[in-house]
Chains A and B, each alone.
Chain A
Amino acid sequence: MALLLKDGAVAENSWLAIDDEAVTVPEGPVIVSLERWRRDRAALSARNTPLGVRLKSDQLAGEVAADLDRFTLVALEFPVFRDGRAFSTARELREHHGFTGEIRAVGHVLPDQYQFLVRTGFTSVEVADTAKLESWRHALSEISVAYQAALTDDTPLSNLRRRVGTVG
């Protein structure tokens, strides 16, 4: 059973991921693939519930830029944790396209990447493996200093350095 994490804690997942082949789309907030969004754009737009779109790692921010006001959530997929494209996609969505909704990491991500996710604009992570929960809880407080500007930490400590993480 997949868990959702926000701010280092387990959170309720109110979103339902919809298969491309599913004939009917249930009520409530749903996440569809970019392909399905393009195919069923009119029908999905007509619904009066929040809509999310899921991008594969080679589908970059520009693919949804024009439609971002339709989406409350963008899910970015990690086919494997080593594929770091989504870090750039998240940052482009925030910094370039001004997206303020939820950005969710889905797929194969490690606790060791949690802080990078947060600092590039992700707000939630879908965690497939509950056995790693303790590591995920710990991940945001492991490192308290960053050496470069990013999304979440605007107050420099000195020079290039900033305070990050959940412990002061």
Chain B
Amino acid sequence: MTHLQAGPYHQAGQYHYDEIDRRFLAERVEQFRRQVERRISGELTEAEFRPLRLMNGLYLQLHAYMLRVAVPYGVLSSAQLRQLAAIGRKYDRGYGHFTTRQNLQFNWIKLVDVPAILDDLAKVDMHAIQTSGNCIRNVTTDQFAGAAEDEVVDPRVYAEIMRQWSTLHPEFTFLPRKFKIAITGSPHDRAALAIHDVAVRARRLADGAVGFDIYVGGGLGRSPFLAKLLREGLPEADLLAYLEAVLRIYNQYGRRDNIYKARIKILVHEVGIDKLRQQIDAEFERIRGPKYRLESAIVDAIRAHFAPPPFEVLPDEVPSVVVAMTGDAAFARWVQTNVVRHRQPGYASVTISLKPAGGIPGDATSEQMEAVADLAERFSFGELRVSHEQNLVLAHVRRDALHALWTELGKHGLETANAGLIGDIIACPGLDYCALANARSIPLAQQISERFADPERQHLIGELKIKMSGCINACGHHHVGHIGVLGVDKHGVETYQITIGGSADEKAALGAVVGPAVGYDEVTDKIERLVAAYLDWRLEGERFIDTVARLGVKAFRERVYGPAA
């Protein structure tokens, strides 16, 4: 197995492991191998083994073990994606599932195979560390990082720094509950900052230096909260010291008596943001010092890993694209929804939708992964990303190659033109896999995407984000869906609560319940009626979410459920 450096695309914008990192990873795999042996020998009880396996990404689900592989801030090389495809073929059922935390899950894993899988992952510098458990999870970011036209600071640099800092952190590995960090470096928030335990907005301070606004206490689940501003304009050098202070206060004061009240959002809610800020600031002043300072030399060394790929100098407008668009309506639709502007003239970023009509959101077969790996090498410097919306992204594609890329994608069922549209549904695994779920979500997502399969109709409706969870834990982010669907168990019957008006971007909002919960067979009809109301009422240029904001939830309730409801 060749390492990344051996490939032709070692310039891919990601952190490149060296011998020290590889040694760490090999030791970690060996440590887990021994933990499995100690469990089998009985030295470790199941209660003791459970958190250890979770911190190595291994869950026990309804039907089998699930292994959640870390994709740090969603960035993968072609070589890594090929290895994931191979693992999917060898140890799973020939596919993998991309998650809202930019990771990849294998849903049909045998415990006995896990050490071998971890070995295979380590061969391409990958692992499953801290993808579960009550520790700092994989740091997530903007899927267009390093390419977005509106980006002011490259968030990957600081995501990598936070990844390293949080890896096997000696103080923060047995927290009250899981801890999720997201970062963006653009004014437009594509990383859903507001629903994270800590969110970092990287920006330029008045003097031009990099600084951070820190938010705390976002999270969904049974008590949804949007993150609150904790600290403005934190200097770069203080990033880790400040995070240490936040985590230390949480580790000491976060509730441990009730799993449902253990996230930092509850601490923020109960203590109050102002008092918590005082505690954190006091701790920060104690910690701040040379030892925990993030030196600019370290930042520079890590930034070097994310240098721009060798772009060609190109004109911004490419006539061949325009020509092809006018001649091919399907291609034109795809360009309109799945292609976004790039900061480099002549380039674009492409979303590869993993949401075909009737498909399982976020699933990709091993063949599809291999095809995308090849296309990433051919069209995007051997690098790709996973988005929190469960799609894949080729970040750096020449505009004059878009038609060729689209044609190739079409050969593998990956040309669906619905990024951001009603078919681009976020859904948790639900009752089909998950031991926590109360209701199915995947089949419902399939049903909705089939109902709205007509590409012309989807484009007519425009941006509309449906997010769906099969239980109150809200892995499908239903609270922040433009339309949210929550499955609950009502006396043994799957029942669904529909919300509207939620949003996960820089104008984040929690959705409001639109009417009484409905049965499985009624959800798609209700959504269709919501959409019909929007189409009747929308003003020029209004998205679904804008019309809801203008007219209010009540208007939609009366239209969909009748005035008496």
> Which A residues lie at the B interface, using CB under 8 A?
60, 81-85, 87-89, 91-92, 95-96, 110, 112-113, 115-117, 119-120, 131-132, 135, 138, 142-150, 154, 157-161
Contacts and interface: CB of A to CB of B under 8 A. Distances in A.
Given A82-B134, A132-B43, A159 B164 contact: yes
Contacts of A83: 174, 256
Contacts of B165: 147-148, 160
Contacts of A148: 164-167, 169-170, 240
A145 B19 CA distance: 11
Contacts of A160: 161, 164-165, 298
A142 B171 contact: no
B161 A88 contact: no
Contacts of B44: 110
B171 A88 contact: yes
A157 B256 CA distance: 36
Interface residues of B, number: 42
A131 B48 CA distance: 15
Given A116-B171, A159-B164, A160-B161, A149 B302 contact: no
Classify the interface of chain B: helix, strand, loop or mixed: helix
Interface string B244-269: 00001001100010000000000000
A159 B48 CA distance: 33
B48 A81 contact: yes
Nearest to A143: B27
Given A110-B44, A161-B21, 14 more contacts: A83-B174, A116-B170, A117-B170, A119-B170, A120-B171, A131-B43, A132-B43, A135-B34, A135-B43, A147-B167, A148-B169, A148-B240, A150-B170, A160-B165
Interface stretch (B284-292, B381-389, B552-560): B284-292
11 contacts: A87-B174, A131-B43, A132-B43, A145-B20, A147-B165, A148-B165, A148-B169, A150-B171, A159-B298, A159-B301, A159-B302
Contact of B174 (A82, A143, A145): A82
A146 B168 contact: yes
Nearest to A160: B164
Nearest to A142: B31
A148 B287 CA distance: 14
B23 interface: yes
A84 B175 contact: yes
**Ranked 6 nearest A-B pairs via Cβ:** A84-B174, A119-B170, A116-B170, A145-B24, A147-B164, A87-B171
Contact of A88 (B38, B248, B286): B248
B309 interface: no
Contacts of A110: 44, 48, 52
B173 interface: yes
Given A87-B174, A135-B43, A147 B168 contact: yes
A159 B169 CA distance: 16
B20 A149 contact: no
A119 B34 CA distance: 22
Interface string B20-36: 11011001101100110
A123 to B, nearest CB: 14
B252 A143 contact: no
Contacts of A150: 170-171
Contacts of B38: 135
Nearest to A150: B170
B17 to A, nearest CB: 11
A161 B252 contact: no
Contacts of A92: 248
Contacts of B173: 84, 87, 116
B190 to A, nearest CB: 27
A158 B20 contact: yes
Contact of A157 (B20, B28, B48, B175): B20
B51 interface: yes
Contacts of A132: 43
Contact of A144 (B27, B52, B172): B27
Contacts of A149: 291-292
A144 B27 CA distance: 8
Interface in B157-188: 161, 164-175
B158 to A, nearest CB: 12
Contacts of A157: 20
A49 B172 CA distance: 35
B169 A60 contact: no
A95 B24 contact: no
A158 B295 CA distance: 12
A161 B20 contact: yes
Given A60-B252, A84-B251, A91 B31 contact: no
A78 B28 CA distance: 24
- B34, B35, B44, B170 pick with most chain A CB within 10 angstroms: B170
Given A149-B292, A159-B164, A160-B161, A87 B27 contact: no
Contacts of B30: 142
A147 to B, nearest CB: 4
Contacts of A91: 171, 248
A110 to B, nearest CB: 6
Contacts of A146: 168, 170
B51 A82 contact: yes
A95 B21 CA distance: 28
A157 B19 CA distance: 12
A55 to B, nearest CB: 12
- A84, A85, A142, A149 pick with most chain B CB within 10 angstroms: A84
Nearest to B248: A88
Given A85-B251, A120-B171, A146-B168, A95 B52 contact: no
B251 A88 contact: yes
A158 B24 CA distance: 14
A92 B52 CA distance: 26
Contacts of A142: 27, 30-31, 34
Nearest to B290: A149
Contacts of B164: 147-148, 159-161
A96 B286 contact: yes
Given A132-B43, A159-B301, A144 B23 contact: yes
A81 B30 CA distance: 22
Contacts of A144: 23-24, 27
B24 A143 contact: yes
A87 B31 CA distance: 21
A145 B48 contact: no
Nearest to A132: B43
B21 to A, nearest CB: 8
Nearest to A113: B174
A115 B23 contact: no
B27 A88 contact: no
